[in-house]
Structure 1
């Protein structure tokens, strides 16, 4: 069975049983192949904006004799599928800002009753996805953390929920992770606090920066992260 490292292995394990999976930014098509091999999906669409990644994906699909059930498509974001063609969409390994652009560009795909699950793994700025949910008709069903090497990755599993409103001490850390006290939460939050320590230390060298709104909001964010770290996360 194919394996592609803890991050992609974990993402494949999150794919719910369904008819068709679409993997956006598929690169080598490892995720669709894993989901297919595990019996999670009957068909898959592997899309990428680059011809090179698509060619690599075709080779992976061919080597596993899955050409009849995995379609590799060249295209940007969700333009590779028609409304109603996929039940689960995975977008992984890119910035949250890019993900929001991809999602906003495909309202008809997202509105399809057939599409029930979005699995998003941003490389940065995950708070943008939490805010996107509040205006998109999608809500956070669950959040996860997965470690590969020294890096901890965030994963958001979304379902349709027009009434969703994000509630948490900070939009930098998923409230679901906090409420469940995810095993990687402490390490993840400590790293965020260290990042804000460095930022504040740098800003404190400038009187002008210290008086800025950015400085004040950063102080407040660090305080909220410390509250999460010490378990003072009651809403």
Structure 2
């Protein structure tokens, strides 16, 4: 076993990604906090982890840019000695009916959510140490199929399609590949543009009668990437409080 496991968390500067990065660090994993543009926010996450006694660095990368993603893996290798866990939490969402969706918004979502996931998965397949874990992030809307989420859900459906295929392709290396599909979760991305009434309605839908929190999702990811969750492989886990 490696002395210390090393994780790359894309989208690690805010929301669910930030909660995942700090959760993994609290469990003793060295973390590369990947970010697209929020350098200050990423630095705050690194400071939070190191202040608590953990090890972390920040690395800027557009997940759809294969050279930038390779450089992020290089930074993990050079600083911490390798990579054991990759969590691709970077994502983009634009809501609109299918009839009215601007195709430029569709292209931007698909570039980040599909191409970005594929690029990170490809680099993970090439670089992850044996015994590691890959977690991609989808959305429970793939199953819930809310109006105005057509373009977004389509991009995340592609993420789920990769999961079992990549798990099978990594046969023989003791690496797991899973997708976590959060339901409505109280992040800035989710809350932006919604009225209090809309938020309250969504919070009442799960039998647990609340919105998810970033920590709820981080706990699932920590399980899937840790020893207790290593027998779970090739799965999409709908972490949504029972909304479907």
TM-score (norm 1): 0.48
TM-score (norm 2): 0.46
Higher strand share: 1
Bigger-Rg structure (1/2): 1
